[in-house]
Amino acid sequence: MNCRVKICGITNLEDAMMACKHGADAIGFVFYEKSPRYVSPETANSIVEQLPPFVTPVALFVDASASLIESVVSANARWMIQFHGVESESECCRYKRPYMKALRVKQGDNVSALVDQYPSALAILLDAYKAGVPGGTGEVFDWCLIPEGLSKPIVLAGGLTGQNIKQAIERVSPYAVDVSGGVELSKGIKSEPKVQEFIRGAKCG
């Protein structure tokens, strides 16, 4: 199966178009003000208007207010939502948009039971757990913690790079992979060679 690729933490049009050029299936925008990759709704929606067809823009929120979420996704019908906090399924459903729910995986978690709490999700993103940090840790978690036969397509995140992406896909067989820091020059600024290497590794590995 061809693995899909989401390039997250996009902050400018040039990086968005570069990622699309190299085959990104989805582009992620972070609407969490504590993140160094935060982007304003106005900037993000301006970029989304210029994305090519069949590239999915993903709006990442961390326990955000309903007003913020509505202000972002109401501006363009293309948005998918990524909930990266402790949002319940009912909270995720209220916006009537396709969504994926991020889960931060740690030793002892019943991952299957956690996934089953979000039956309406299109996919579940599995990321590394780090206390007090909602995501973007740049750390790999133990992929052996992911059981087989989960009820939702899995998006693998957490410390992925061009160097480990082939191994990750071989071990986990995810529906998609998600990368941010692993393809950057600096926080929020992408490296074209790293993006190209990552996508090639994910799709041609």
pLDDT in tens, the chain (205 residues): 689 999 999 999 999 999 999 999 999 999 999 999 999 999 999 999 999 999 999 999 999 999 999 999 999 999 999 999 999 999 999 999 999 999 999 998 999 999 999 999 999 999 988 766 666 667 899 999 999 999 999 999 999 999 999 999 999 999 999 999 999 999 999 999 999 999 999 998 6
At residue 196, the 3 state secondary structure works out as helix
Domain that holds residue 127: 4-204
For the residues of 69-130, what is the DSSP string, one character each?
Answer: HHHHHTT-TT-EEEE-SS--HHHHHTT-S-EEEEEEE-TT--HHHHHHT-TT-SEEEEEE-B
End-to-end CA distance of the chain: 11
Question: Measured between alpha carbons, how far is residue 62 from residues 29, 31, 72, 172 in Å?
Answer: 12, 8, 14, 26
**Domain tally, the chain:** 1
Is 8 among the catalytic positions?
Answer: yes
Which residue in the list 3, 8, 20, 92 is annotated as catalytic? 8
CATH number at residue 143: 3.20.20.70
pTM here is 0.95
The residue from 15, 25, 127, 178 that is catalytic is 127
Q: Going by C-beta distance under 8 Å and a sequence separation of 6 or more, which residues neighbour residue 22?
A: 192, 195, 196, 199, 200
- The CB density around residue 174, as the number of other CB atoms within 10 Å, is 23
Q: Specify whether 204 is catalytic.
A: no
